[in-house]
Chains A and B, each alone.
Chain A
Amino acid sequence: MIVDCHVHIGKAAYYHVEADAALLLRAADRAGIDRMMVTDFSALVYDIKAGNEWIRREVSAHLDRFIPYYTVCTGRHGDWVAEDLERYVNDHGFRGLKIYSVPPLQVIDDPFMLPLLAKAAELRVPVLAHSTGEECLSLCRQVPDLVIFNAHMGCCPQAQGDWHRAVAAAKAHPNIYLDTTSSTFDNGMVEFAVREVGAERVLYGSDMPLLDPILAVAKITESNLTDREKDLILHGNIERLLGMRG
């Protein structure tokens, strides 16, 4: 059983990709991935309202395979966004919030983001944050009960690839989880994360269709961990977390 906590759908000019549900399902089948938490590209970089509505329609026929995140570009689009998040979670089966930090245009440790994060905490849905460990830590300290998946666990340009700092941030707050998604495959990085914060707080993710999900799975299966630890990372933790809404 594999549940992927970090998948994209839609199109983005910057990333040279265009993926619909059918493409993702085919790729997931090849990689042995059973379910995917999926976020829409256009809501991430262009149009929150249209993007979230598009993903709702696109995955509606495959809710046995897709678990959508509600996705925002920034927290600076007004109060309606928090209300919209609540509607998508309560009415349409969305189970998380995706936020993206590429300063200075897209920032998440931002006063305007806090009401949205407070709403996510109130709704008890996790937040997938493309960000640094320090930003995740700051947000967790500002918003009680917020649960953050630190996307890429530091292995993105914004965090300068520093997974040690991401792990240290996660160690400092029990509500930060480390998402292993990235094109970095440093030998021993997953083992280090497990040693420092426990396998219960490490999550498998692929970043498909940007990155190869087969290799992302191998990052976990090829690591020097016990089968129980691998199972937690590949599906057990996300199942536990998504069950938190009851």
Chain B
Amino acid sequence: MIVDINSYFGTWPYWAMEGTDVGSVLRNMDRCGIDKAFVCSLRGVFMDPAEGNAETLAAVERHADRLLPALTYSPYASGRDRYAEELSACPARMVKLFPLNHSYDPLEEPFIEELLNWCGEHRVPVLIPHRLVMSWRFPTFPVAKIGALAEKHPNATFILGSINYLFELQSASDVLRRRPNTLVETSAMMAFEEIRKVSEEIGAHRLLHGSCNPLQIPAVGPLKVRTAEIPEEQKERILWRNAGEIFDFAGQEGIPK
């Protein structure tokens, strides 16, 4: 069983990339043994969160057995008044924030404060990517700010996304140690024995498998967990069991308890 908490679909604006539609995402999942994935429309990241969320919800409705919604909201874009309605309608759901793409500081925005309070109250995890994909081309959102949000909203669960290694991993580890309401996603962890080291230092119960399918080579996501020198029970936790717990879908169709 593998759950992917960090997938996308839609048009990739920066260079020609094949296979970014929903059908391709599903084919990649089949090839890599990924059973379920939280997907987020790239239209919502780059263009219009409301239109992107509509695409995401439509894709999830068409493939309810495989896809789960990662919805995004911005204080300065349409759709921000719909979060409670949209998220309440989904049994397993995630909010994904893109402060760099939507140009705001989440620590300074009353709307984000309201949204995060709601997410804490309704047990909706919030993923904030440190960068969109693991590439040195992309700007990074400060890990310490995600830590500050986690401190400000202790009832909400925060996932630090797309953390690579060295100083950014140290910053993420510091946040994870200080804030029990935080977890880290694995799509950008490419360093030598990184999964093992983070599991030993922070605990496998704080890691969640992500692949960044289809923007990154999707097979690498599960591979780094499967080949990590950690006990099988910890691999299972990272690949799906932790997600089942924080997203409250353990025991649902296709998901073991």
- Chain A residues with CB under 8 Å of chain B are 14-17, 27, 30, 155-157, 159-162, 164, 183-188, 208-215, 218-219, 222-223
Say whether, besides A212-B192, A215-B224, A222 and B136 are in contact (CB < 8 Å).
Answer: no
A188 CA to B165 CA, complexed, in Å:
23
- Chain B residues with CB under 8 Å of chain A are 15, 17-19, 133-138, 164-166, 188, 190-194, 214-220, 223-224, 227
In the A-B complex, the 10 residue pairs with the closest CB atoms: A161-B136, A183-B190, A161-B137, A161-B135, A185-B216, A185-B217, A222-B219, A209-B192, A184-B135, A157-B136
Candidates A15, A30, A187; contact of B19 at CB < 8 Å: A187
For A164, what are the chain B residues with a Cβ–Cβ distance below 8 Å?
A: 15
For B136, what are the chain A residues with a Cβ–Cβ distance below 8 Å?
A: 155-157, 159-161, 184
**Beta-carbon contact of B217 and A210 below 8 Å:** no
For B219, what are the chain A residues with a Cβ–Cβ distance below 8 Å?
A: 218, 222
For A15, what are the chain B residues with a Cβ–Cβ distance below 8 Å?
A: 166
Question: DSSP majority for the A interface?
Answer: loop
For A187, what are the chain B residues with a Cβ–Cβ distance below 8 Å?
A: 17, 19, 214-218
Residue of B nearest to A161 (CB): B136
Q: How far is the CB of B210 from chain A (nearest CB, A)?
A: 12
A185 CA to B17 CA, complexed, in Å:
13
Say whether, besides A156-B136, A157-B136, A17 and B164 are in contact (CB < 8 Å).
Answer: no
For B190, what are the chain A residues with a Cβ–Cβ distance below 8 Å?
A: 183, 185, 211-212, 215
For B214, what are the chain A residues with a Cβ–Cβ distance below 8 Å?
A: 187
**Beta-carbon contact of B134 and A208 below 8 Å:** no
**Beta-carbon contact of B137 and A215 below 8 Å:** no
Task: Identify 28 residue pairs between A and B in the complex whose beta-carbon atoms are under 8 Å apart, listed by A's number.
Answer: A14-B166, A15-B166, A16-B166, A17-B192, A27-B192, A155-B135, A161-B137, A183-B165, A184-B136, A185-B190, A185-B220, A186-B133, A187-B19, A187-B217, A187-B218, A188-B17, A188-B18, A210-B165, A211-B190, A211-B192, A212-B193, A212-B194, A214-B223, A214-B227, A215-B190, A215-B220, A218-B217, A222-B217
For A183, what are the chain B residues with a Cβ–Cβ distance below 8 Å?
A: 134, 164-165, 188, 190-191
Most central of A156, A186, A209 by chain B CB within 10 Å? A186
For A211, what are the chain B residues with a Cβ–Cβ distance below 8 Å?
A: 190-192
A127 CA to B230 CA, complexed, in Å:
37
Residue of A nearest to B191 (CB): A211
A161 CA to B215 CA, complexed, in Å:
15
**Beta-carbon contact of A222 and B220 below 8 Å:** yes
A17 CA to B166 CA, complexed, in Å:
10
Residue of B nearest to A158 (CB): B136
Candidates A30, A157, A210; contact of B191 at CB < 8 Å: A210
**Beta-carbon contact of A219 and B220 below 8 Å:** yes
A16 CA to B216 CA, complexed, in Å:
26
Known pairs A161-B137, A209-B192 / 12 extra A-B pairs, C-beta < 8 Å: A17-B192, A185-B134, A185-B217, A187-B19, A187-B218, A208-B192, A210-B165, A211-B190, A212-B194, A214-B224, A219-B217, A219-B220
Q: How far is the CB of A220 from chain B (nearest CB, A)?
A: 10
For B165, what are the chain A residues with a Cβ–Cβ distance below 8 Å?
A: 183, 210
Residue of A nearest to B165 (CB): A183
A211 CA to B133 CA, complexed, in Å:
17
For B19, what are the chain A residues with a Cβ–Cβ distance below 8 Å?
A: 187
Most central of B17, B192, B217 by chain A CB within 10 Å? B192
Residue of A nearest to B133 (CB): A186
Q: How far is the CB of A183 from chain B (nearest CB, A)?
A: 4
For B138, what are the chain A residues with a Cβ–Cβ distance below 8 Å?
A: 161
For A223, what are the chain B residues with a Cβ–Cβ distance below 8 Å?
A: 217
Most central of A17, A162, A212, A222 by chain B CB within 10 Å? A212
Q: How far is the CB of B232 from chain A (nearest CB, A)?
A: 17
For B164, what are the chain A residues with a Cβ–Cβ distance below 8 Å?
A: 183
Q: How far is the CB of A1 from chain B (nearest CB, A)?
A: 20
Q: How far is the CB of B211 from chain A (nearest CB, A)?
A: 10
